[in-house]
């Protein structure tokens, strides 16, 4: 099972890097496309949180007879609010307009975030393998626009293309560390899988509602709005179809 978790985490990381590589090797790219990806990611994250993670967490918590899903979900939101206000002021996605982050802040913030992503994937996979796949898809989807933004920051900070790629590969590896640690401490973590899954749902909800959707609201006009709404609904439908096909 470990190799499956490692492969899934690695694949999610590679897929998310694709967005940044798209920026690096493309001479021209427009903001409209990035916002479509952002809208898609928001739909994926919200549907994963409410259709997959929270129902699974609720079942597991009820079986253990300990607590409920509400407190850890709120905890996930609170933690990410605190991280965004402290690590940052760089994180998340396109929030670096007013205060430009340094290269090291971006690298550290991404590394820490990816570590949590690895824990989320491994935790979800231990609870239900199909749910682990869904979580990995959600993480990759929301990381794509983030990687585009982060690569742009690294390049504007003076890094060469290949050094920017190297920096992002290093931060991607932290997700593997989080996944592996979670796997080996499974006996200690297993009683808290429901809580951690609800915590992950809170994390996803916060990212979608606090970072992604507000970014979309700054665009005006039907020309921009309609494609974004379609992308948002597509993200929700994709997770719904995956849930139906896998029986999660």
Write the pLDDT tens digit of every residue in 141-194: 767 766 766 776 676 666 777 887 888 888 888 899 989 998 898 778 777 778
Report CA torsion sign: 213, 219, 221, 223: negative
Q: Higher confidence at residue 36 or residue 176?
A: 176
Is 33 inside a domain boundary? Answer: no
Region 44-52: what's the mean pLDDT?
Answer: 88
| Closest of 210, 233, 170 to residue 82, by C-alpha | 210
Region 203-231: what's the mean pLDDT?
Answer: 81
| Closest of 147, 103, 130, 156 to residue 14, by C-alpha | 147
Confidence of residue 54 (pLDDT cuts 50, 70, 90): very high
pLDDT of residue 19: 64
Is 25 inside a domain boundary? Answer: no
Structure tokens at 135: 């979580």
Is 163 inside a domain boundary? Answer: yes
Q: Please say if the pLDDT value at position 101 is more than 50.
A: no
Confidence of residue 70 (pLDDT cuts 50, 70, 90): very high
Question: What φ, ψ does residue 97 adopt, rounded to 5°?
Answer: -70, -45
Helices 193-206, 31-47: crossing angle, 10 deg rounding: 150
3-state helix, strand, coil in the chain (%, to 5): 85, 0, 15
| Closest of 59, 48, 5 to residue 141, by C-alpha | 48
In this structure, how many other beta carbons lie within 10 angstroms of the beta carbon of residue 38? 28
DSSP state of 128: -
Burial of 221 (0-12, 13-18, 19+ CB in 10 A): exposed
Is 95 inside a domain boundary? Answer: yes
| CA distances for 117 relative to 59, 121, 163, 190, 210, angstroms | 22, 6, 23, 17, 18
151 contacts 20 by C-beta, under 8 angstroms: yes
138 contacts 56 by C-beta, under 8 angstroms: no
Is 96 inside a domain boundary? Answer: yes
DSSP state of 26: -
62-66's contacts with Cβ under 8 Å and 24+ in sequence apart are: 63/194, 64/191, 64/194, 66/191, 66/194, 66/195
Q: For residues 132 and 158, what is the distance between their CA atoms, to the nearest angstrom?
A: 37
Is 39 inside a domain boundary? Answer: no
Write the pLDDT tens digit of every residue in 119-146: 888 988 888 888 888 888 888 876 776 6
In the chain, how many domains are there?
A: 1
Is 153 inside a domain boundary? Answer: yes
Is 239 inside a domain boundary? Answer: yes
Q: Higher confidence at residue 79 or residue 85?
A: 79
Could you tell me the residue range of the domain that residue 139 belongs to? 2-19+44-243
């Amino acid at each position: 099972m470990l190799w499956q978790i490692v492969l899934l985490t690695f694949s999610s990381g590679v897929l998310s890097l694709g967005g940044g590589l798209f920026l690096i090797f493309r001479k021209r790219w427009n903001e409209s496309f990035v916002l479509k990806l952002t809208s898609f990611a928001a739909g994926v994250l919200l549907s994963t949180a409410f259709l997959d993670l929270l129902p699974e967490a609720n079942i597991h918590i009820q079986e253990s007879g300990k607590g409920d899903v509400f407190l850890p979900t709120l905890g996930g939101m609170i933690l990410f609010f605190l991280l965004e206000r402290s690590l940052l002021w760089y994180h998340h996605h396109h929030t670096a307009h007013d205060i430009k982050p340094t290269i090291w802040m971006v690298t550290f913030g991404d590394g820490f975030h990816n570590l949590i992503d690895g824990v989320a994937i491994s935790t979800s996979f231990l609870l239900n393998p199909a749910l682990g796949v869904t979580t990995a898809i959600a993480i990759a989807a929301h990381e794509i626009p983030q990687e585009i933004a982060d690569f742009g920051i690294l390049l504007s900070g003076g890094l060469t293309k290949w050094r920017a790629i190297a920096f992002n590969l290093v931060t991607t590896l932290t997700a593997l560390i989080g996944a592996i640690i979670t796997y080996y401490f499974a006996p200690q973590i297993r009683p808290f899988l429901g809580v951690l899954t609800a915590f992950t749902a809170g994390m996803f909800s916060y990212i979608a509602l606090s970072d992604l959707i507000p970014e979309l609201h700054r665009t005006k006009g039907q020309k921009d709005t309609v494609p974004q709404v379609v992308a948002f609904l597509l993200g929700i439908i994709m997770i719904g179809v995956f849930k139906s096909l896998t029986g999660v």
